[in-house]
Structure 1
Amino acid sequence: MSRIYGDPVEVWVRDGEPARFVWRDRLYVVRRVLDHWVTSREWWKVSDTDPGERRFWRVEATPGGDPGTYELRFDTAAEGWLLLRAWD
């Protein structure tokens, strides 16, 4: 079962993929990327300087114990990361 959060997170990237992130004051290490996809912003919100992409990663990560599955999103317009979803 998944839970939806939408919490801002700090993410460290290696080779273009999330490698670590901090969520609720805990450091999570990404063990592997399970999925990656990109969506475009609505056409009326796109400008020449901002393609308005949202980049998603579903990752297996752990704060030190058993790994969990997490969905991260990077918004190119806001230049920020969110943790959207976590699975038990």
Structure 2
Amino acid sequence: MSKLYGDPIEVWSRGGQPVQFVWRDRLYTIREVQDHWVVAREWWKTSDNDPGERRFWRVAAATGREVGTYELRFDTAGGVWLLLRAWD
């Protein structure tokens, strides 16, 4: 079962892909990218300078030995990362 959050997170990436993130004062290391997709925003909701994509990752991440599944989103228009969902 998953829980929805929408919490802002700090993310470290390599080659445009997240490798670590901090959520609720805990550092998570991404062990596996399970899925990745991009959603283009509607043209009428974008600025002239940025087409505004939302990039999503479903990842297996760990704090120590505890591994969980998380869904992350990066909004290119605002440069903001969010943790959207976590699975038990």
Whether TM-score is above 0.5 comes out as yes
d(CA) in 2 for partners of 1:16, 1:52? 16
Q: Report the counterpart of residue 5 of structure 1 in structure 2.
A: 5
What is the CA-CA distance between 1:78 and the residue it aligns to?
Answer: 1.1
Percent of aligned positions that are identical = 72
Q: Say whether 1:79 aligns with 2:79.
A: yes
Q: Say whether 1:66 aligns with 2:66.
A: yes
Q: Report the counterpart of residue 39 of structure 1 in structure 2.
A: 39
Runs of 4+ with deviation above 3 angstroms: none
d(CA) in 2 for partners of 1:36, 1:15? 14
What is the CA-CA distance between 1:45 and the residue it aligns to?
Answer: 1.2
What is the CA-CA distance between 1:6 and the residue it aligns to?
Answer: 0.1
d(CA) in 1 for partners of 2:66, 2:46? 40
TM-score (norm 1): 0.95
What is the CA-CA distance between 1:49 and the residue it aligns to?
Answer: 1.0
